[in-house]
């Protein structure tokens, strides 16, 4: 659910900021916001990869970020010169970890997808409690294919 409190930017600003309650439905809504921003910024060619990345980062935050009630998860989509930075902020202190792949588990592959699709990504500090996990995706050079890492 979108929370109207706090700074809200729009795609025309080169920055889109939204706050979400910790609810699985926020992932689809965040994807819609990102799709809209990428279209407005002329970045449709990286849309598929970017939507997977935001889905994985936001799913991790909504599942694992055990923060106090009222502490929303925030997404930020930042227009870069040749791409986009996707940030997910939450108030929980723990950092995400890539798990060893296990074919018997039906979860735990999200950060491997992020690592494969993003040009770079990391988790770090943010202003206030918790962390910021971000990933950057660039438009591939003409004739090239996009492979992160």
pLDDT band at 13 (very low <50, low <70, confident <90, very high): confident
Out of 22-26, 44-48, 66-70, the most confident range is 44-48
Instruction: Give per-residue pLDDT as tens, 95-126.
Output: 777 766 666 665 556 888 999 999 999 998 88
Record the pTM: 0.81
Asked whether residue 44 carries a pLDDT value surpassing 80, the answer given is yes
pLDDT band at 5 (very low <50, low <70, confident <90, very high): very low
46-54: average pLDDT: 97
CATH of domain 2-138: 3.30.565.10
Q: Give 78 or 124, the one with higher predicted confidence.
A: 78
Rounded percentage of the chain residues whose pLDDT exceeds 70: 74
Q: Give 84 or 20, the one with higher predicted confidence.
A: 84
Quote the tokens at residue 18. Answer: 């939204």
- Domain segments of the chain as ranges: 2-138
Asked whether residue 148 carries a pLDDT value surpassing 80, the answer given is no
**In which residue are the tokens 């979400």 written?**
20
7-25: average pLDDT: 75
Residue 145: per-residue pLDDT: 52
Instruction: Give per-residue pLDDT as tens, 56-65.
Output: 999 888 876 6
Other CB atoms within 10 A of residue 135 CB = 25
Note whether 59 and 100 are within 8 A (CB): no
Q: Give 139 or 72, the one with higher predicted confidence.
A: 139
Q: In three state form, how does the secondary structure of the chain look?
A: CEECCCCCCCHHHCEEEEEECCCCCHHHHHHHHHHHHHHHCCCHHHHHHHHHHHHHHHHHHHHHCCCCCCCCEEEEEEEECCEEEEEEEECCCCCCCCCCCCCCCCCCCHHHHHHHHCCEEEEECCCCCCEEEEEEEECCCCCCCCCCC
Residue 122: per-residue pLDDT: 93
């Amino acid at each position: 659910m979108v929370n109207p409190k706090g700074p809200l930017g729009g795609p025309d600003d080169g920055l889109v900021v939204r706050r979400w309650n910790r609810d699985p439905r926020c992932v689809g809504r965040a994807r819609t916001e990102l799709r809209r921003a990428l279209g407005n910024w002329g970045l449709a060619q990286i849309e598929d990869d970017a939507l997977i990345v935001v889905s994985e980062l936001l799913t991790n935050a909504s599942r694992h970020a055990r923060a106090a009630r009222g502490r929303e998860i925030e997404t930020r989509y930042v227009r870069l010169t040749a791409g986009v930075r996707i940030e997910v902020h939450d108030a929980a202190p723990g950092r995400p970890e890539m798990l060893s792949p296990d074919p018997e588990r039906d979860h735990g592959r999200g950060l491997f997808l992020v690592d494969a699709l993003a040009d770079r990504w990391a988790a770090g500090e943010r202003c206030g409690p918790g962390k910021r996990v971000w990933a950057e995706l660039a438009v591939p050079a003409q004739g090239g294919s996009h492979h992160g890492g």
